[in-house]
Chain A
Amino acid sequence: VKFVDEYRSGELARRVIGQIEALLDPGRTYKIMEVCGGHTHTIYKHGIEHVLPPAVDLIHGPGCPVCVIPMGRVDDAIAIAERPEVIFTTFGDMMRVPGGGGSLLDAKARGADVRMVYSPLDALKIAREHPEREVVFFAIGFETTAPSTALTLLRARQEGIGNFFVFCNHVTIIPAVRAILDSPDLRLDGFVGPGHVSTVIGCRPYEFIARDHRKPLVVAGFEPLDVLQAVLMILRQLAEGRSEVENQYTRVVRDAGNPRALEVLAETMELRTTFEWRGLGFISQSALKLRSDFADWDAELQYAVPGVRVADPKACQCGEVLKGVIKPWECKVFGTACTPERPIGTCMVSSEGACAAYYNYGRFARPREAAAT
């Protein structure tokens, strides 16, 4: 992790902020949405909101993989995990997400064999080591993590591992951004585009945002200076009356994305007709399922799950937070009934969720002059 410090330099930050200030129209406020939860995390972890001029308002978007999983899918996961023959593997964050009847962590305490893994290949390894058990991987995430699930499926097929299954909940970012742009609740001035997703899909899929909706989008990296620079590039476009897709994260993102990753995705997965997003409801063609060639590894075909839609708790406003309509602290239950240790909504669980990020990192009073907007 060499070369990280230069992207966190306070001195460079002050220079960029100077340039940002010079571009601001007096009296105007700028609402910029960072689509990706990774950016939300960076923004709070480094205190970026505190160094930006108050006229620039960062709105947190829907790109948090854990946050968008609806409660019904968590219940399905628990139903699979509670089968005695199953070892259920999941990323750590997902363990604490509440479904209709508790979380995977609760299921684990009741006796379910739930194990935390760092990658789907770890889950495949467990399957190899336990041929007598059935190992299920809870696949979540956007185009960022879907290729590693795809590669794992290919390897399972190649090695003929028959006791490994994928419970596929991969989602795609573009339909979610489209849903937000079509939502009447919100007026945005521009977007910080997701960095890791774009390493896979490239920059072209965002072009409709610039062309049809006339909003600038700048794909950005995840260090604090990346985010600041993306904000600067968006403001520059606004000042010059442009709306384009630009790439700040050129050290990683290619315009055409990663063709090999897209290829393995296309080989193993296809779009679902529709998928429920937490708080956003059903969005057509917004998620992936395994192709029929991979039916033997598909947990949804292997196990009967409740498959029931569970309505979000009434008090929970995750949907409005995910769409950026309200700030985390404006939710009725923020920090009182809903806390990281006892979350009601998904946004309070994941470290990429806006509520958890605000609660854990941003929860202190700003100087009065900066707060007055």
Chain B
Amino acid sequence: VSGDREREVIDLVERRRRLKPKLKEELVTLSHGAGGKATRVLVEALFLEELGNPTLSSLGDAGVFGERGRRLALSTDSFVVKPLFFPGGNIGDLAVNGTVNDVLMSGARPLGLAASFILEEGFAVAGLRHIAASMGDAARAAGVLVVAGDTKVVERGKADGVYVTTTGIGLVEGGRELSPDRIRPGDAVIVSGTLGDHGTAVMVARGELELEVDLRSDTAALTPLVKRLLEAAGEVRCLRDPTRGGIATVLNEFALQAGVSIVLDEASLPVKPEVVGACEILGIDPLYVANEGKLVAVVGPEGAEAALASLRSHPLGADAAVVGEVRSEPEGLVLLDTAFGGRRVVDMLVGDPLPRIC
């Protein structure tokens, strides 16, 4: 019957999806930087092939390594956001918060940062000072110091103003281990607040769309949220900050790595009406839009309530919500129960609707 044949095709597609990806392109395209499927292929089929080791290959937000019981988390991130200044922040605080958050997501306490600048000849010194001052403010707010740095200048036209790379190091306390491998059916999926604010704000700030929307980037260090969450709920399985590719990409990574299904409830997803509106006009889905001050937590069923309360106890987590549940099947897939009563797949992002968002 047709239902059985369809099922066979679906199974075949799923098996294929789980094969190690092959990099077939001869040239790098913008898709390789979008944080979706093409990025994954580039990372797995090129970088992991050449540089892979058990720490790197776990593909967390930070690599956790160490010796004699002391474990460190190390993370690095480059920022090429356009425009450099946008409502709610600029490339400076974005670069600090982004790396601090990546370190935090491994369960580590951030200890220090390094910052590298690639500057374009002719860039205004006053602008650079503004960026550096924002970095200082963000670092102070996150309780870390910038302890190392580097500066390079390239000829006019060889870069776009300023690119910033930050690297962060943190200490993983005790025997804490946060990993998608620990996700189990029955766990709750929690987000710490509204989705898609950063990507939409930056897109609107470019002025290409002539949309007038009052939206600010959510860029923020998640230090207080992670602290409260880990103290309140013992059953936190893993954390990730859903930047490029949005929560859809993060949850797909979780589902594939843990071999589980994640079912989201559309009605419970916190999204600002302004973001819904702008995304509707742009034809993009807020689930795929970058956040810079939000986390996704998977928490054991017993801990879900305490986790939610702990997040909501801080202003950064005021809109936290349980948005979905982990199930055993269909393995490796993220599904969405639509507010309308239907159900659909939420796959990884293909292509790049919003280049250079961070």
* Interface range for A: 35 or more
Q: Quote the shortest CB–CB distance from A107 to chain B (angstroms).
A: 10
Interface check A351, CB cutoff 8 A: yes
Q: Is B328 an interface residue (CB 8 A)?
A: no
Question: How far is the CB of A206 from the nearest CB of chain B, in Å?
Answer: 26
Complex contacts, A122 vs chain B, CB 8 Å? 208
Residues facing A in B19-35 (CB within 8 A) are 24-25, 27-31
Residues of A close to B29: CB separation below 8 A: 105-106, 108-109
Q: Could you list 26 examples of A-B contacts with CB < 8 Å?
A: A1-B276, A10-B339, A46-B344, A47-B343, A50-B343, A92-B353, A105-B31, A109-B29, A110-B27, A122-B208, A327-B6, A329-B9, A334-B9, A335-B9, A335-B12, A336-B13, A360-B347, A361-B345, A361-B347, A363-B13, A364-B330, A364-B335, A365-B330, A371-B1, A372-B1, A373-B1
- Footprint of B on A, CB under 8 Å? 1-2, 4-5, 8-10, 13-14, 44-51, 92, 95-96, 105-106, 108-110, 118, 122, 224-225, 327, 329-330, 334-336, 340-342, 351, 359-366, 368, 371-373
Q: Which of A330, A342, A364 is B345 in contact with, Cβ under 8 Å?
A: A364
Verify B3–A372 contact, CB threshold 8 A: yes
| Contacting pair A10 B340 (CB below 8 A) | yes
Distance in angstroms between the alpha carbons of A361 and B344 in the assembled complex: 5
Give B11's nearest chain A residue, CB to CB: A365
Q: Are the CB atoms of B9 and A4 closer together than 8 Å?
A: no
In the docked arrangement, what's the CA distance between A50 and B24, Å? 36
Flag if A8 contacts B9 (CB, 8 Å). Answer: no
Whole-angstrom distance between the Cβ of A98 and the nearest chain B Cβ: 12
Closest Cβ of chain A: how far from B20's Cβ, in Å? 14
Is there contact, CB below 8 Å, between A341 and B340? Answer: no
- Cα A96 to Cα B29 in complex, Å, equals 11
CB contacts (< 8 Å) of A44 on chain B: these are: 344
Q: Evaluate contact between A50 and B342: CB separation under 8 angstroms.
A: yes
Given contacts A2-B273, A371-B3, 9 further A-B contacts (CB under 8 A): A1-B273, A110-B27, A330-B9, A341-B41, A361-B345, A364-B10, A372-B3, A373-B2, A373-B3
Interface residues on B, range: 35 or more
Cβ contact of A364, chosen from B25, B276, B333, B339, cutoff 8 A: B333
Given A10-B339, A10-B341, A363-B345, residue A368 in contact with residue B3 (CB < 8 A)? yes
Task: List the B side residues contacting A363 at CB < 8 Å.
Answer: 10, 13, 345, 347
Give the A-B pair count, Cβ closer than 8 A. Answer: 131
Q: Contact: A342 with B24, CB < 8 Å?
A: yes
A interface majority secondary structure:
helix
Q: Are A47 and B338 in contact (CB under 8 A)?
A: yes
CB atoms of B277 and A1 under 8 A apart:
yes
Query: What are the residues of chain A within 8 A of B347 when measuring CB–CB?
Result: 340, 359-361, 363
B280 at the interface (CB under 8 A from A): yes
Contact assessment for A335 and B16 in the assembled complex, using a CB-CB cutoff below 8 Å? yes
- B19 CB to nearest A CB, Å: 10
Q: Is B350 in the interface zone, CB < 8 Å from A?
A: yes
> Considering the chains assembled together, what is the distance between the CA atoms of A342 and B351 in angstroms?
10
| Contacting residues, chain B, for A1 (C-beta < 8 A) | 273, 276-277, 280-281
Tell me how far the C-beta of A343 lies from the nearest C-beta in chain B, rounded to whole angstroms.
9
Closest 9 CB pairs of A and B: A47-B342, A371-B3, A335-B13, A109-B27, A10-B341, A361-B344, A1-B277, A340-B350, A329-B9
State which residues 342-358 of B face A: CB under 8 Å: 342-345, 347, 350-351, 353
